[in-house]
Structure 1
């Protein structure tokens, strides 16, 4: 069975320490705790950040007003995100939360938006689903308890819907990374409905939204695959394929993984021929984009070898052997004979050869 590509979760202890500090900073509101903490040192750190933000917010001398500082922090966050300065971006997003609380108060949708942006950053930039869930839940609570009347303007409504899409998408993908399929599916379904509402409002042209329709359908496909909702998974991945082809062409590298996902779903349904057809498409794109003796070509070749082998048909023995052999040669050339991926390919090939040999012996008169 093909392997999923889970969100990478860093395990470096220094990263954990930095993230812990950032999480502590954000856990205290400007006026009161949003979530109670029993850690006194955390409380002191948060209070220090509070006082710092309040002092900066005071209209002393010619100091910028809080709304000007918020705009500056938002621009800096965007800048650092583009430059892949992950921790600097997160610090600016934390400032956005603190300043939004000063300007709008605890129950305003723009505070929820700041929390949602921070949660999305933890998930996408750092691959930290636990922190993403924590801040996305804070955003959801703020949004659900803070809106007591219709949005003042159509632009506000668009922003609110966009924020809700970000919240539920982040929750869905974060739960998916933690193998919590049910919660993931429920959240992503909500994000899908909200996206549809937003598209109706904007005539299918959504400006400034963090989550694309392609991102959403890929996430839905992955969570359906995880829960064995195979027909739904195939449908969502095919929608993603159409979206990629329409914007990037039919040789986009992103199609490789999508075709592999569809093939995985088809294999689980025992539709081996369809699975092979999709894997051939993935392998063809890979061979066009990478060298024949590359890791990428080795990976797609190995999947094809396994797919042909899985049929159990005599007519596919030659094809299976060819792709197993090509994959093994590519792994050895790219990584060396002792690399773990090379050894795994050898093991897969060896198991199949033993199986075929036993089958041929048993079939002899």
Structure 2
């Protein structure tokens, strides 16, 4: 299947039948205008080569304007037209499938569709050993394997991803020996391969091999002015070390990334991610320090500057900060931030979302721990309403919240409230 295509509008009739509308005479000018309009609409009269050029240009235009669904629809047309013009087995057909696969991966993040068209691209390429392939064929093979590797990561087929990235590395080496790739493009491609293999090895629970790929990336980045990429590699290394229980090593990598971020990209997204990661690692250390709060606040300021307060990344970092505040005994500040975040979460995730339900539950739990039972009952009941519609009444989360609501309902100040209201109504 070539992917879901956006809904198309029904084409309006170019002109009414002479038997309709009282058989009115359209006139020669109207007839000529209608005939011209139909000629423009009718694809059969346009040579397939021209249609192919048209859809290729249109795909570039739609991608540039952010209309990704329309871009993919254009590329689907390009695949069909390329096969019509060149036949089923041709380099141009392989290239068309490769472009479509890459668009599915990069623009939509659709792994299965990208895998399917990467496979079709390989099938359309002539079989030849890497050593005897032309430079153009090697380039096509390289991009096909890179796309296939990225798609396999999305579908969690790690062995296929590993095979694709290793094949891409071999092909890149062949292109380098022939002088068929620029130094800049070689570094860019090798970084992509190393990042992909790092994700593969992490998924396979092979941390040492994953760290080797990170070291390779750092070597490539050493002479490049790419602070964002360098910070990203250090963050990966920190996550791997943290997974091994090596918090000191994780903080060491993140401290290097933080120094780079603060000097080059303090208010950009990668800088926000670095400060966020460092805050999480520091807060997980044996003693919680003021530096964790400082890193959290630093990350929130950078997220706000780079993506805004309603972005999921900002809201996730804010939730992590609130959990840190809660564990640090700062319940009042935690609840204040969570209450203020509800409007943004409803706008970003929707009224019936896990994020809204979790926020309400956290607020109610703090209110309950502070002895404010009536307010906790109201907040928890609101959480229950969201969870019932979101998960269903039989879900374990909903049932746990239902029990909490019933328990709160038995609290004296909650149980007495309806009686007092009834007495006031009687007196009136």
The alignment's TM-score, normalised by the length of structure 2, stands at 0.56
- Determine which of 277, 287, 291 is the counterpart of 1:323: 291
Change (3 A) 1:134 1:150: closer
Cα deviation per residue 1:235-293 (whole Å; 9 max; x = unaligned)?
A: 222322333443325xx22222211001112223344333222100222233234558x
Q: Which digits, 9 at most, give the CA deviation of each residue in 1:32-52, with x for residues without a partner? A: xxxxxxxxxxxxxxxxxxxx7
Task: Please say if 1:133 is aligned against 2:115.
Answer: yes
Q: Pick the aligned partner of 2:244 from 255, 269, 279.
A: 269
For 1:3, the equivalent position in structure 2 comes to: none
Q: Which of 303, 319, 343 is residue 277 of structure 2 equivalent to?
A: 303
Whole-Å separation in 1 of the counterparts to 2:127 and 2:228? 46
Matching residue within 61, 76, 84 for 1:102: 84
RMSD: 3.7
Distance 1:301 1:231, change over 3 A: same
Is the contact between residue 295 and residue 331 of structure 1 (CA under 8 Å) also seen in structure 2?
no
Tell me: CA distance 1:198–1:244, structure 2 relative to 1, closer, same or farther (3 Å): same
Partner of 2:156: 179
Distance 1:174-1:266 versus aligned 2 partners, 3 A rule: same
Q: What number of residue pairs does the alignment pair up?
A: 284
Correspondence for 2:213: 236
Q: Secondary structure at the match of 1:247?
A: coil
The aligned residue for residue 169 of structure 1 is 146
Do the aligned residues in 2 keep the contact of 1:221 with 1:236 (CA within 8 Å)?
A: yes
Matched residue of 1:170: which SS? helix
Conserved 8 A contact 2:94-2:124: yes
For 2:129 and 2:152, locate their aligned partners in 1 and report how far apart those are by CA, in whole Å. 31
Give the number of the structure with larger relative contact order, counting CA–CA contacts within 8 Å between residues 6 or more apart.
Answer: 1
Q: Given the alignment, which residue of 259, 267, 278 partners 2:253?
A: 278
Please list the CA deviations of residues 92-118 of structure 1 after superposition, one character each: whole Å capped at 9, or x if unmatched: 423332232122211223211110111
Supply the distance in 1 between the matched residues of 2:145 and 2:300 (Cα, whole angstroms). Answer: 43
Cα separation, partners in 2 of 1:180 and 1:159, compared to 1, 3 Å: same
Question: Is 1:345 aligned with 2:335?
Answer: no
- In structure 2, the residue matched to 1:201 is 178
Deviation at 1:308, TM superposition (A): 4.1
Instruction: Return the alpha-carbon distance in structure 1 between the equivalents of residues 44 and 87 of structure 2.
Output: 13
SS in 1 for 2:117: helix
For 1:305 and 1:282, the matched residues in 2 are separated by 13
Question: Partner of 1:56 in structure 2?
Answer: 46
Q: How does 1:208-227 map to 2 (within 5 A)?
A: 212-227=189-204
Once the two structures are TM-superposed, the CA of residue 182 in structure 1 deviates from its matched residue by 2.3
> Which consecutive segments of 4 or more residues in structure 1 shift more than 6 A?
206-209
Separation (CA, whole Å) in 1 of partners of 2:95 and 2:134: 12
Q: How big is the shift at 1:183?
A: 2.2
Question: Helix, strand or coil for the counterpart of 1:21?
Answer: coil
